[in-house]
Structure 1
Amino acid sequence: MSGHAALAGPAPAAPEVDPWVIEAARPAPPAPRPELGPVRPAAVLALGLLAAARALGLVLVAGAVAAGIAGIARGDVDAREVLLLGGAGAILRAGAAWGSDVVARRIAIAVKQTLRARLWRRIANGDAREAEGGLVVLATDGLDALDDYYVKSLPALVSAVVVPAVVGLRILGADWVSALVVVVTVPLVPFFMALIGRHTQARTDRALAALSRLADHLTELARGLPVLVGLGRVEEQAAALAGIQREYRERTRETLRWAFLSALALELIATLSVAIVAVFLGLRLMQGTVGLETALLVLVLAPECYSVLRDIGAAFHSSQDGLGALTRVKDVLARPARADVRRRGDAPVAVRGLWVRHAGRVRPTLEGVEARLSGITAVTGPSGSGKSTLLAALAGALPADAEVTGSIDIDPERVAWAPQAPRAFAATPREELALAGASDPRAALAELGLEHVADARIAELSPGELRRLAVARALARVDRGADVLVLDEPTAHLDQAAADRVRAAILARAARTTVVLATHEPETLALADATLPIGSHGLGPRDARPAAESAFVERGDRSVASSPSSAPPADARPLPRGHDDAARAKPSPGPGPAWLLGVVLAFVAAGMGLALSAVSGWLIVRASVEEHIMYLLVAIVGVRFFGIGRAVARYAERLATHEAAFRMVDALRLRLWRSIAARGAGSRRLLEGGAPVDYLVTQVGELRDLLPRVIPPLAAGALAIAGIVTTTALVLPPVTVLVLVALVAAALTGAGLAAAGARRGQRARVRERSGLVRATAALVAAADDLRGNGLSGRAVARLEAAGERLSRAERRVAWEAGLGSAVVVLATAALAVVVPVLSPSAPAELVCVIALLLLAALEPLAELVAAAHRAPALRETRARLEPLLADPPAGRPGTAHPCEAVWELRLDRVAARYGDRTVFDGISGAVRTGEWLVVSGPSGSGKSTLLSLVMGALPAASGTVRVDGVPLSELDPAAWRAHVAWCPQDAYVFDSTLRGNLMLARPRHDAPSEQELRSVLARVGLRPLLEQLPGGLDTRVGAGGSALSGGERQRLAVARALLTRADVILLDEPTAHLDAPTAAAMMSDIRAATDDRIVVLVSHRRADVTPQDRVVRLGPDRAGARADGEGQSEEPKTSFAMRNAVLAAGTPE
């Protein structure tokens, strides 16, 4: 907004000030990463105390193990002391590990809930300017990525402060030389961690940006799917989707490579540092300057000083997505609130010097508008003159990037609005009206003839039904006390009966509210007491060809009209057939060699880690009794080999499994995209709200994240148990059964507890999270509608309730998530303590091997338990995707190809159904080249469905569609769609340029020339618009064509259809939102441009139909119409007499 908007005075009600807005206003240097975000200090203190308890538990366990093994070497084991000390340490360590996990998860849940609520409020207020898909992903997947940050990075950060201090003090008390070595080598870890992290951050930010672009692209594809299907561009856009996926995969792969490489470097540094400590201990043991018990204590404790620092690096790099999302959220929250030129004023509504210029436009849309509005005022002017801009200003729904000056005296809390392109927030019409405050939603719907769709999904409504729902929502607001009713094209797309209902409802409330409306329909215009003409700086009629406009009547004498049958010529039948199964083959994202390689590498990494601990223990004990260092060289080399090998194998395993996961989900996403495209026309629910983003981004992303964290750890953990038991059987046979039973029992119990807890909470979590994605998408899409009707607060409250349900589900999971890990911590620590007590006569070095092996078993077993905890989510996510992965419920597609030029289209008693509901039945008609077939009928009678059926996007429930005499079911779908182009109602305009939208009309190899683009724009009356745009054809049109008026969007969509080389053109309400002269001129040009094509037209406007057109009527009573389109009944006129009669009757209670 322009700075001049301040002339309008302060907003009527001070908006809630977000804490981060105040925070951003303070001059302060940017905070270094990592940052805490909105975390309570008490929670951080709790993590610190638990980290100290965990470190103390390790000190006790290490002391017990060292005492036991040293006692064996001396021949005197104090079993009671070892068991008491070790048991207390094991219990303390297990309890602290569980508590730390619970506290960290609850911190993450609270932070996400807080940030989501703030972000939702900014979205609802219109302050977030990101593209829809990016905002949805940011508020859902982006914030969910904070789990890794708060569950891993924050506890690791706290542990890095606390654990080295506790453990270091114990080492210092035992051996100051070892403590000095630790103090000198520990700083190497954070030094290299920071050095590598600087290179990782920029790459992570680019990967996050690529994910945002992917989400935006998927949202655009989903919203524009009817257009893509209608133009035959689904596969071409699938190729574009594959390209974006590839970019995202490559950027993420680069980020992961650096993150994993940093983990490798940190692992090597920690290993070498521990090796230095071990070498010093070994040499001093041989010299007799340190005791075995002290050396073992230091050997067990020293790695913990390095591992907590190493864990910071690994956790920090794995949580970069979450940090990037946190930064983006803070950027959105710190932006200043959008300006609003509205201020409270007494009736009538007053507009004072309103001046509006949209982004990308040279000339303003509105200049110095002055008006006092009362009664029923009609805003008039040609298409593109700024009528919708004025109404949006009244409703407070102007784009955030528009420049605005002037002021409007109006109470923002008492405005009701029905925009030209309405969007709904709730899932059903009944819920939408309940949100608007309707006391009886069903009665409110019945007033406009919508009671039959009260519980239908919003996406299943026709454009006319959605428009009536928007009007009903605005009327419900009036019934709840709103005194300004703003209506933009309230009767567009409506048949006469439905439009009469809307007009009657408006008149019934005219006595108690100010009505401001824009319309091109004479009957609706006749309701007005006064008119407010708006001049045009954009589009108007190109010449003076007048056309009388009246509604195309559908009343009681509807019938099906068929042309006389005429046989096609013998040489016109498309006989060639061929199988194209290879082209239709779908990639199968099943397990393959890459996953097997990942499992093998995970086992190798775990095995080398176990071997490192075992060999280190053997080396220390032998050094205490060995006099010659040459005897120990093999073990010393083995320690280095296993240490380096573990780090390298872990690095290779991570790369292999993540690459396999990315390739699998990329193939899966393309399958889902094709499945949604194939089902879209027959299942509109797939296109509603955030369903496409939910399926293609959220759930696929969840699958991608879960696969590497479930498959390799489960297999590697089981193999690690087998390896430990085998080693025990070879080294210390007497305790083999105990080790086998204890490890298997711990693994099964821990995994069982984790999986059971996850199953109880994860299904609810996945369901609530999916619902949250869709609700957030609905908020982003319907933000202007909600704000214009004063419903933003209620919508955000619903989202916050949904967020609280998700948080409750996540908190239930959090309490049980750490139990499984606590079991394996307790089991491994207890076993390590018990083994020396049960083996007093065995060689000390062999007992040490098994004891340290059991302590090292914690890592693979903990990962196994964590994988078991994630497994139910993996199954649940896969189950939610399975229905879309199955083949569409249609017969095997045909293989025949149409002729080069289609010359006849015939409907033979066709019927269409959505589920169990019959839309229409027994429809017949025919049309040939150069002719037009007009489909008429009341709103919701199935006119658009009939076009979907003709296009092949929806199979006929019965009857046959024939193309040149051949059943459509026998034609190859891709080949047929190359011959047909569909321009749907309110056809979606993509967030691109004029050129980009027009270029969709043809494949890349047949792209239209510059002259063709300019010519087709002139044909639909958009030449004046093109001449005033600073970027010409390369001017961006905004999300959903928001930078264009409704009429401009409609004409651009028609131009896109005309650019195709299709033989059959399907036009659905092409003249909606156009004034009469412009509509007449455009229809004349369309008829001239399609004299060698078949055109099927859906329209409610009688002026769009000529006597030569063939007519098919839909509706409950179709008798009486003739094939030549005559026999139309007279249309009823809404008169001032009707208006006065309604007003005289008074407003119903």
Structure 2
Amino acid sequence: MSDRTAPEVPRAALVALTVLAVARAGGLLLIAEGFARLIVDTGTGQPAVGAALAAAGLVVRALAGWGSAFAGRRAAAAAKLAHRGTLARGVVDRDLDAGSVAVVATRGLDALDAYYTSVVPAAIAAIVLPLGITARVLLADPLSALILALTLPLVPVFMVLIGMHSRDRVEAAHDALTRLADHIAELARGLPVLVGLGRDREQAERLAVIQQNHSARTHRVLGTAFLSALALELVATLSVAVVAVVLGLRLLSGDVGLFEALVVLLLAPECFTAVRELGSAHHAAEDGRVALTRVRELLAAPSRVDRRRAAETLTVDRFGVRHPGRRGSAVDDVTFTARRGEIVALTGASGAGKSTVLAALAGTLPADATVTGILTAPRQVAWVPQDPRCAAETVRAELERYAGDADVDGVLGELGLRGVAELPPEVLSPGELRRVAVARALLRVDSGARLLLLDEPTAHLDPVAAGAVRAAIAARAPRVITVLVSHDPATLALADRAVALDATAPESRSVPAPGTLPDAIVRRPASVPPGGVRLALAAVLRPAPWLWVGAVLLGLLATGMGLALTAVSAWLIVRASEQPAVMYLLVAIVGVRFFGIGRAVARYAERLVTHRAAFRAVDDLRLRLWQGMAARGAGSRELLEGGRAVDHLVGTAAEVRDLLPRTVPPVAIGILAAGGVVLTVSLVAPEAAGLVGAGLLLALVLPAGVAFLAGRRAEADRVRASSALLRSFAAVGRAASDLRANGVADATVAELDRRSRSAAAAERRSGTTAEAGMQLAPLLAGATAVAATALLVVGGAPAATVAVVALIVYASGDALAAAVAGGHRIPGLIAALAPLGRLLAPSSRAARGSGRPGRRIEDLVFDEVSVGWSPDTSVATGIAGRVRRGEVLVIEGPSGSGKSTLLTTLLGDLDVRAGRIEVDGVELAELDPAAWRARVVWCPQEAHVFDSTLRGNLLIGRPRDNAADEAELDAVLHRVGLGAMVAALESGIDGRVGPGGRWLSGGERQRLAVARALLSDADVVLLDEPTAHLDGPTADALMGDLRAALSDRIVVLVTHRMQDRRDGDPVVRLGDTSPRVLEAVA
């Protein structure tokens, strides 16, 4: 069982909340005194004193309630800022899962609001209010005070007993929720791979099963928690009913006066309400305590290993690294030195440990690595990792973070990146992203870095772009110590000397002549078809419409029974004071018990139904979002490669799940309850119906207008700020190594802190306006009750009628406050749903034909095809070529010229802008998208490797009903050159690969991704840079094996490596003089 310690509460907040609780108690006493005097003075026709006392009490209670919420929110904001700051520092210092950290830092810590705004105020009120109220009741009627003293302790006793019974299950449910969030986040990050392998539908089915199991478990836990609330409410209701009945009987005998009885009747429920609120708040705040436990668990992870000693020269002496789970060392006994102005190249076969040495020099080795030997190096490092990650929203912002006082525009021009400077990094091609990583390092050197570490700086680059990168490295070499890793001979030629990590010599291949580097193509991020909030709202309500109707009806029934309980109790007390025959009161006495029990049971049922509807709606929404993103496939890089997939599937889905029960039922219940009160008043006191109707309408519309209009922007800003914060944490988590090694972690943490403060400010603005509306509603309802009571008193209405009207109108304030709070949350729900409407709208693929490919696809034809990411811009035009079964179509061209865009179009995830693609003579647009997707498989550049085992990553290559057996898995691993690596693992093929495959080298990750594609039975195989990060001999061997394994299929190969091409291969070469004019070579 985990340790769930309570969050700390500042002393100032405790003092403020205590003072406000005392003020609230004083307000309640004034309200009770005022209404009791108003009812008692019915015969005198002088309501002024009672009205003044009640009005004063209403104002004091409203101000105390608003102040309590304000103080609680300030304390919550301060606590969340502190914990987010700690997490921000932790995520750049440790090997943490980016998705988990992002969810905990945002949605998780947001749950602390309930602790500070509910638990702490309720705990203080549970002490202050019962003491103050019991003291006043003791003065009015000692016997009623004794009943309260005997029954009040039953509430915390039941709270403890039920809490102990349900604690383990609640903790297990929260742990399961954390695992579900982690699982969904991992699926979101790997969605491009699942789409490329055609496994997205299968994973959607698996996700549905996981959600159903989680929902079932959660409903069982919620049932226990709501049963706890039911027990508490029954104890409180029956206790108050006992007090009311005893008072009525004693009024019959004249043992107590009407004024004292009314004061006790009005105050007794408040005694139990304070303690009951503590129990409800305790359950509501469990998520916050769980989040703090999760924060502590994350921060308990060890920091990355940094064994460097500061020095001006670089010394590596008998250096070795061993990773757990491997039988041998990653590197062993490496020794070399370097001085400023020298370029040292680390050479060796893929998997020889070159990147491991660079990671050690950068200070980014995993925390569980065992290091031997000595490292001394300058601390000011510029690092280009093999798998660069960005954390900023645009390329320019990313470079400015690394630049210091260096010239960003100059480096953008030097590497041909001006055209993509304002784009999000996630929409860039791998080649462009590689140049951005190099640009960051160059800016670091220009601003004073002393050690330049380059891991495959020219991977994914065409010859011209690679030449520009080499020229930039050479220009800065005299100022720094440079250590580079590359399989490109031209890049290796920059080195003054080489350090071989094994006996494999660098490959020998031709070096293209230098050319002129074109600027990057100006593009806009891919967009998805427009949708709307109405579509998204319909999508979340459609799965369970009758459950929502049932939730509203049950909530209305509970509210109505509560109002009826108040009315019958008031009538009983007043009529008993007139001392009729006891038989006359028996129906009312039974009614008090009936309505009391009925209210508690109806509220329990309403909570269960509401949450069942919310979970069903969000489970369906998450599946539809998954399907919407998968339907757009690789046609939306921004969705699939950025943090937006995690944001939508985890953060936004949780936001909608929390907002739906707090908006739909409360608003409907509040409106219907107000109408019911007006109808009741029109029946018992028609002369006050107009006043009550106008007053309750004002109590509903004015606070709702204040909350909605004043808080509309604040609530929408809160949702957007929370979403942006989640994406920022996810991006920083993914780029943690880049940030830390390049010395910009502190600046990034400071930026996250600024975003956290912005989110906190939006939360405070939203909470302030919401609480103002919530307190204004019962204030106006109470004022309406005072005015209606005064009207009836002046008009000489019977005391029983006055009591019924006064108390039901006053009691309706709670339902109106909940409706106003729900109305305030509507802008937040709209803001959460707004971006989802676009994903829920049918994609362009849905409008395509219904044809199906033949049994075997024999050829593909490109007929003057133009492709692009946005409808009005073509990245490449005039593509012509043909490839038949058994052939390899090679696509060549400069970085950013549209090679990957062409593959995405061939997948069917982008529409051709002009021309046509034919599959065995049938236009691709006429084929059913699902049928085509089943016949094509895609292995993207930098394919995601799931945080699982080697076996688990391979098995997604085929459907579950046609899974590869042990022999096939072993064969494919040997075919891609991973047999020796698997043999070196203590767990073999069941060895884990780490988050994102970080426990593998870049070459090993690439070969694992290729192995997954080889296991597919698809007729058309799309390979995007399959030999990236591989040394020459390994790349040659891999391509030979690929050609042999795929000899009976159609292969489309994107590559910058000339050796991957063979004589006779059809070639489409994208022209390097203009990004829009292509040369077709067949």
TM-score (norm 1): 0.89
- Residues 1072-1083 of structure 1: matches in 2 within 5 Å? 1072-1083=1028-1039
**Alpha-carbon spacing, 1:670–1:1121, altered in 2? closer, same or farther (3 Å):** closer
**Alpha-carbon spacing, 1:1016–1:405, altered in 2? closer, same or farther (3 Å):** same
Shift, 1:553, TM fit: 7.8
Query: Paired residue for 1:594, among 547, 557, 580?
Result: 547
Structure 1 match to 2:619: 666
What is the letter of the counterpart of residue 457 of structure 1?
P
Structure 2 match to 1:738: 691
SS of the residue 1:907 aligns to: strand
**Alpha-carbon spacing, 1:679–1:624, altered in 2? closer, same or farther (3 Å):** same
Shift, 1:1114, TM fit: 0.5
Query: Paired residue for 1:464, among 431, 454, 478?
Result: 431
Q: Which runs of 5+ in 1 are unaligned?
A: 1-28, 559-584, 1125-1149
Structure 1 match to 2:978: 1022
Query: Paired residue for 2:296, among 326, 330, 353?
Result: 330
SS of the residue 1:268 aligns to: helix
What is the letter of the counterpart of residue 866 of structure 1?
A
Separation of aligned partners in 2, 1:779 and 1:752: 39
Contact 1:443 1:451 in 2 (8 A): no
Shift, 1:869, TM fit: 1.1
Separation of aligned partners in 2, 1:1122 and 1:153: 70
Contact 2:306 2:365 in 1 (8 A): no
- Residues 274-289 of structure 1: matches in 2 within 5 Å? 274-289=240-255
Contact 2:308 2:375 in 1 (8 A): yes
Query: Paired residue for 1:114, among 82, 99, 102?
Result: 82
Q: Deviations over 1:507-543 (max 9, x none)?
A: 111111000111111111111112222249xxx89xx
Query: Paired residue for 1:512, among 475, 479, 503?
Result: 479
Identity %: 52
SS of the residue 2:694 aligns to: helix
Structure 2 match to 1:45: 15
**Alpha-carbon spacing, 1:324–1:228, altered in 2? closer, same or farther (3 Å):** same
What is the letter of the counterpart of residue 254 of structure 1?
R
Structure 1 match to 2:528: none
Structure 1 match to 2:678: 725
Query: Is it true that 1:1060 corresponds to 2:1016 in the alignment?
Result: yes
Shift, 1:383, TM fit: 0.7
Structure 2 match to 1:636: 589
**Alpha-carbon spacing, 1:1106–1:587, altered in 2? closer, same or farther (3 Å):** farther
Structure 2 match to 1:473: 440
Separation of aligned partners in 1, 2:46 and 2:507: 107
Cα RMSD after superposing both structures: 2.3
**Alpha-carbon spacing, 1:1097–1:268, altered in 2? closer, same or farther (3 Å):** same
Query: Paired residue for 1:984, among 940, 947, 954?
Result: 940
Contact 2:845 2:929 in 1 (8 A): no
Query: Is it true that 1:356 corresponds to 2:324 in the alignment?
Result: no
Q: Deviations over 1:731-771 (max 9, x none)?
A: 12222221111111111111111111221312222222221
Query: Paired residue for 2:67, among 87, 99, 106?
Result: 99
Structure 2 match to 1:415: 381
SS of the residue 2:487 aligns to: coil
SS of the residue 1:681 aligns to: helix
Query: What is the aligned length?
Result: 1055
SS of the residue 1:839 aligns to: helix
What is the letter of the counterpart of residue 157 of structure 1?
A
Structure 1 match to 2:393: 427
Shift, 1:215, TM fit: 2.9
Contact 1:48 1:158 in 2 (8 A): yes
What is the letter of the counterpart of residue 855 of structure 1?
Y
Contact 1:554 1:938 in 2 (8 A): no
Q: Deviations over 1:762-818 (max 9, x none)?
A: 222222222111111111110010001011111111111112222222222233222
Query: Is it true that 1:622 corresponds to 2:575 in the alignment?
Result: yes
SS of the residue 1:397 aligns to: coil
Contact 1:725 1:739 in 2 (8 A): yes
Contact 1:86 1:833 in 2 (8 A): yes
Contact 2:109 2:288 in 1 (8 A): yes
Shift, 1:554, TM fit: 9.8
Shift, 1:714, TM fit: 1.1
Query: Is it true that 1:1115 corresponds to 2:1071 in the alignment?
Result: yes
Shift, 1:922, TM fit: 0.6
Structure 1 match to 2:668: 715
Query: Paired residue for 2:119, among 136, 153, 178?
Result: 153
Contact 1:981 1:1057 in 2 (8 A): yes
Separation of aligned partners in 2, 1:333 and 1:1005: 41
**Alpha-carbon spacing, 1:998–1:230, altered in 2? closer, same or farther (3 Å):** same
Shift, 1:1074, TM fit: 0.9
Q: Deviations over 1:595-634 (max 9, x none)?
A: 1111111110100000011111111122222354322221
TM-score (norm 2): 0.94
Query: Paired residue for 2:761, among 791, 799, 808?
Result: 808
Query: Paired residue for 2:709, among 732, 750, 756?
Result: 756
Separation of aligned partners in 2, 1:625 and 1:898: 89
Separation of aligned partners in 1, 2:693 and 2:810: 15
Q: Deviations over 1:398-431 (max 9, x none)?
A: 122323344422233x011010000011112111
Separation of aligned partners in 1, 2:373 and 2:266: 74
Separation of aligned partners in 2, 1:979 and 1:553: 39
What is the letter of the counterpart of residue 424 of structure 1?
C
Structure 2 match to 1:1145: none
**Alpha-carbon spacing, 1:700–1:30, altered in 2? closer, same or farther (3 Å):** closer
Worse-matched range after superposition: 1068-1077 or 238-247: 238-247
Separation of aligned partners in 2, 1:688 and 1:488: 22
Contact 1:768 1:805 in 2 (8 A): yes
Q: Deviations over 1:708-749 (max 9, x none)?
A: 111111111111111111111121222222111111111111
Separation of aligned partners in 2, 1:1080 and 1:122: 42
Shift, 1:586, TM fit: 9.3
Contact 1:47 1:103 in 2 (8 A): yes
SS of the residue 2:1021 aligns to: strand
Q: Deviations over 1:1074-1125 (max 9, x none)?
A: 111111111111111122111111111111111121111002449998856x
Q: Which runs of 5+ in 2 are unaligned?
A: 519-537
Query: Paired residue for 1:677, among 622, 626, 630?
Result: 630
SS of the residue 2:69 aligns to: helix
SS of the residue 2:336 aligns to: strand
Query: Is it true that 1:370 corresponds to 2:335 in the alignment?
Result: yes
Query: Paired residue for 2:802, among 823, 828, 847?
Result: 847
Structure 1 match to 2:842: 887
Contact 1:906 1:927 in 2 (8 A): yes
Separation of aligned partners in 1, 2:540 and 2:669: 28
Query: Paired residue for 2:220, among 234, 254, 257?
Result: 254
Structure 1 match to 2:154: 188
Structure 2 match to 1:798: 751
Contact 1:763 1:876 in 2 (8 A): yes
Shift, 1:116, TM fit: 1.0
Structure 1 match to 2:139: 173
SS of the residue 1:960 aligns to: strand
Structure 1 match to 2:535: none
SS of the residue 2:877 aligns to: strand
Structure 1 match to 2:7: 36
Structure 1 match to 2:29: 59
**Alpha-carbon spacing, 1:642–1:891, altered in 2? closer, same or farther (3 Å):** closer
Separation of aligned partners in 2, 1:836 and 1:522: 93
Worse-matched range after superposition: 923-932 or 944-953: 944-953
SS of the residue 2:875 aligns to: strand
Worse-matched range after superposition: 868-877 or 884-893: 884-893
Query: Paired residue for 1:700, among 653, 662, 673?
Result: 653
SS of the residue 1:933 aligns to: strand
Query: Paired residue for 2:192, among 203, 209, 226?
Result: 226
Separation of aligned partners in 2, 1:722 and 1:224: 52
Query: Paired residue for 1:902, among 838, 841, 857?
Result: 857
SS of the residue 1:918 aligns to: coil
Shift, 1:64, TM fit: 1.3
Separation of aligned partners in 2, 1:209 and 1:781: 23
Separation of aligned partners in 2, 1:130 and 1:637: 61
Contact 1:549 1:1101 in 2 (8 A): no
SS of the residue 1:1044 aligns to: coil
Structure 2 match to 1:144: 110
